[in-house]
Structure 1
């Protein structure tokens, strides 16, 4: 992977205390750390490592009891990668790449968590991480050019810089259904799954939700549950994962190909191993088109979504043809055609929402112990002490699983009381002015705050975006430290220009016509019922090129002082 301009990891400063940064008068010497990082997931861990290389004193505050972020919290049955394992892990250490053996092409959650714990141990990260420390507030002081961070226990901690590593999908939401607290059985949200095993053997289980986590959960629970009732509001287009084991010989071949693998990820549109085919849908014959789709459907991973014809997500007729192809596959795989029709989306085309990858998900509905309830036809009225009541039936359950997703992208920021210059709340700024960022990394009016994988950054294969974001932020801080600068804030005009660019890129995308977390919609969160452009939809190489341009120009788009 290429490294961000302005940052040379071979030349760390080393050994600087907080009060030495920028002179250190009495006010500044009271700071506890040079930087505070919120979150010990993939981005927080890597940022900690990089700031250590700059000789900065750093504290990471993590709400959980261990590292891992997404892979710490999401322990639900069936949780796993939908990016190839060897394209998902960190790329920065050859030694780490050489010693780790991925056992499956799409790693399951327990293995991924073991991997991240291995990384934490290998680089001795835990000594700078404080667990069971949920951040509730972060307030900027112009007088001291520092951030005051408050934890749930009431303690305060100060630092020159605040770096958020909170993740785009980390704030779970529960549905607005009356009576949830009244249920007398077991109930779980997929994103807050218990650490101890949950048995479904012979039990009456309900799953509410059929998004990516719902699909993964359903196909696992169905294997052992006495009965499984799926409550579906909106069906999603799903495609086969086609996972497989990786033996020692194959892993050796993968290790030899790591430079090629990461070069490929760096070159593709969304950092996956797959990237759009340069041909248009109608530039080939119907026979060639069908053969190409058959090939993609039979291959593992995101190829049918990320490696399809270049116009699939912009041309309505092209998308309709692909959607019809996948609908035919669903009808072939589900025996009961009435059920198949319920599982085929009617309100959006293939790929315009995130595509869940599955392993015999559709075949689950052929099992006698599984039933599907369309809650658009018969809405849920309430959760009862014994189960779920819809408009036409009452069901009894032993376990209810809420696969109801996240308050995506901005939700994790909204749940922290973040205040910038003059006490302006970040949530209020984004509500009043609309979502605005500079490169998805900074917000005007919030000096010395940097966001990792924040709104308006390139998402896609997220760890690839994380590594670049971390290295770019590290480059800014290296530049500042080298010059004795203590304040960095994106200029309002820089944020406006970048936001206008992000909005222009999204124009014409079919996905922007659809309600989904990718367009900022969550009916279970107040104020999240209007579509917005919350993510950068251009290519990752173009995003990096703009970031490199800013770095090479001496960060003129930031007000540094």
Structure 2
């Protein structure tokens, strides 16, 4: 089976024989973090270059073109804040922008700041190795290109390594096949077709809801049901957009002080301390508020106290039952192995109502697991299904997966994949002991992995840029996390997560992925201390002369 959105050989830039590109700084990835990092370092006078696997900018918004794709942060909190001109010139058309609009935004940034002249596209990194004698990183690309740089900055994204399910015969199907994370750049039609979707995570929920509007017949194969909450999206008219522009300073200030850089402040009360009437009324209010209000802006104890979480979970169960006509079907859509909010919550616009359609069928894989994929469709333990199209909404090898797919070799020949075999070890989620001069934007153990990402991207990029400028000004050539600093930070990451109910659940946030070998051990790959606490720690490190880093 060939995933049809992968760039063809013709799209790849031809290798430049034995020539080696040389830079002060090489950045891998031209999504939002890579573009902003390029801009910052270029302004500081560094000789910097970006390498991007795709044929254009955008990162996750370049690859994830599946039907219904959109972000679940309010658009006007998601955009960059570093440029007043950018804020004045860009107009958001929806409160939760769809993928095409967000990709246009990425291209607008690239055009406005003339970024493409310092980006090489169709350049997927195959390997990166530290040359200790030269104080340089060497990059080797799949197309044969090579590059060397004094500093290597990864901007590869937390959800950029798509995974296929480990199902026998996965390549045998003769019809159309797509992965949501590698969606083709050409239109895909569903009218009159028999379509299967495997997976009901965030991308699955969005895809299912959208294609159900036009599909001939849709069969959803669900292994693990997810809790979902309403997105409640709406258009932004010209008057509202002007009000937003006038409020940007307050909006970004509010995001800065929020745990995850959203606008939804948690209620200071505990759910277990208020009356039943007060609790129900507050649940109802937040459930009917757009975005992550119900998840991120609920009572302060709902994600740490099981009693409170049970109360919130019971409320959502009642909402699902009210929306799904067949209560036996509703039973299958209601998770039983984790409480609401203990996994990443997909936001939806009519997802549960899809299952009221006569042309939609749910197959519960807990009851009838898939045995294999055939030339004509999918065979479960009790039936064979024929399809015209199979969509794999099977997600990503989150956060560390994109690192694993590059053969990264540090000091003394140490492999990053081996160092992280039992889970990531980092300092501030920005550097790794044994891997000098490599900085990891939105890497594991970084607040940006548990955040309204562009808000934390700006903090990451500004911090890394200041570090490189400091090193240049002071005459330093090498920076590396100290072993004790890395060990202390990694332990802090685990200690901070331990109080959350999410650590009792297998999910990509706890490093578990049933589609990836070796991803069955529960750890924590994000940072649960919150963006303000993370930012404070980063500032303290700088104030103490980059404490925890060996500068030489």
Structure 1 stretches of at least 4 aligned residues deviating more than 3 Å after TM superposition: none
Structure 1 residue 457 corresponds to structure 2 residue 484: no
Select 2:530's aligned residue among 534, 539, 559.
Answer: 539
Matched residues in 1 for 2:130 and 2:234: separation? 49
Q: Any idea what SS the aligned residue of 1:518 has?
A: helix
Matched residues in 2 for 1:247 and 1:556: separation? 48
CA shift for structure 1 position 275? 2.5
Matched residues in 2 for 1:52 and 1:474: separation? 10
Select 1:428's aligned residue among 396, 412, 418.
Answer: 418
Q: Deviations over 1:498-556 (max 9, x none)?
A: 11111110112110010110100111111000101111101110000000001111113
Aligned to 2:34: 44
CA shift for structure 1 position 178? 1.0
Aligned to 1:21: none
CA shift for structure 1 position 347? 0.3
Matched residues in 1 for 2:265 and 2:110: separation? 32
Structure 1 residue 446 corresponds to structure 2 residue 413: no
Matches within 5 A, 1:196-211: 196-211=186-201
Matched residues in 2 for 1:98 and 1:283: separation? 45
Matched residues in 2 for 1:430 and 1:528: separation? 11
Structure 1 residue 290 corresponds to structure 2 residue 244: no
Contact 1:387 1:395 in 2 (8 A): yes
Aligned to 1:330: 320
Q: Deviations over 1:79-124 (max 9, x none)?
A: 0010000000111001000011100000000000001000000000
Aligned to 2:178: 188
Q: Any idea what SS the aligned residue of 1:502 has?
A: helix
Matched residues in 2 for 1:525 and 1:157: separation? 30
Select 1:525's aligned residue among 501, 504, 516.
Answer: 516
Select 2:496's aligned residue among 505, 509, 523.
Answer: 505
Matched residues in 1 for 2:277 and 2:382: separation? 46
CA shift for structure 1 position 148? 0.4
Matched residues in 2 for 1:298 and 1:158: separation? 52
Structure 1 residue 106 corresponds to structure 2 residue 96: yes
CA shift for structure 1 position 155? 2.0
Aligned to 2:335: 345
Q: Deviations over 1:435-481 (max 9, x none)?
A: 21000000000000000010001121111111100000001101001
Matched residues in 2 for 1:346 and 1:508: separation? 21
Contact 2:400 2:424 in 1 (8 A): no
Aligned to 2:15: none
Q: Deviations over 1:158-185 (max 9, x none)?
A: 0000000000000000000111211111
Q: Any idea what SS the aligned residue of 2:25 has?
A: strand
Matched residues in 2 for 1:120 and 1:269: separation? 30
Q: Any idea what SS the aligned residue of 1:382 has?
A: strand
TM-score with structure 2 length normalisation? Answer: 0.95
Aligned to 1:559: 550
Aligned to 1:27: none
CA shift for structure 1 position 312? 0.5
Select 1:168's aligned residue among 134, 158, 161.
Answer: 158
Aligned to 1:255: 245
Q: Any idea what SS the aligned residue of 2:421 has?
A: helix
Aligned to 2:507: 516
Matched residues in 2 for 1:225 and 1:100: separation? 35
Matches within 5 A, 1:137-536: 137-431=127-421, 434-458=423-447, 459-536=450-527
CA shift for structure 1 position 253? 0.3
Contact 1:237 1:355 in 2 (8 A): yes
Matched residues in 2 for 1:72 and 1:65: separation? 9
What's the Cα RMSD here? 0.8
Aligned to 2:67: 77
TM-score with structure 1 length normalisation? Answer: 0.94
Q: Any idea what SS the aligned residue of 2:101 has?
A: helix
Q: Any idea what SS the aligned residue of 2:195 has?
A: strand
Matched residues in 2 for 1:300 and 1:543: separation? 27
Contact 1:105 1:245 in 2 (8 A): yes
CA shift for structure 1 position 31? 7.3
CA shift for structure 1 position 41? 0.3
Contact 1:414 1:427 in 2 (8 A): yes
Matched residues in 1 for 2:228 and 2:429: separation? 29
Q: Any idea what SS the aligned residue of 2:379 has?
A: strand
Contact 2:62 2:103 in 1 (8 A): yes
CA shift for structure 1 position 257? 0.5
Contact 2:155 2:440 in 1 (8 A): yes
Contact 1:31 1:160 in 2 (8 A): no
Q: Deviations over 1:33-55 (max 9, x none)?
A: 00000000010000000110110
Matched residues in 1 for 2:150 and 2:383: separation? 58
Matched residues in 1 for 2:195 and 2:483: separation? 51
Q: Any idea what SS the aligned residue of 2:301 has?
A: coil
CA shift for structure 1 position 191? 0.3
Contact 1:237 1:345 in 2 (8 A): yes
| Greater alpha carbon shift after TM alignment, 313-322 vs 70-79 | 313-322
CA shift for structure 1 position 277? 1.1
Q: Any idea what SS the aligned residue of 1:408 has?
A: coil
Contact 2:272 2:307 in 1 (8 A): no
Q: Deviations over 1:197-235 (max 9, x none)?
A: 100011100000000000000000100001000000100
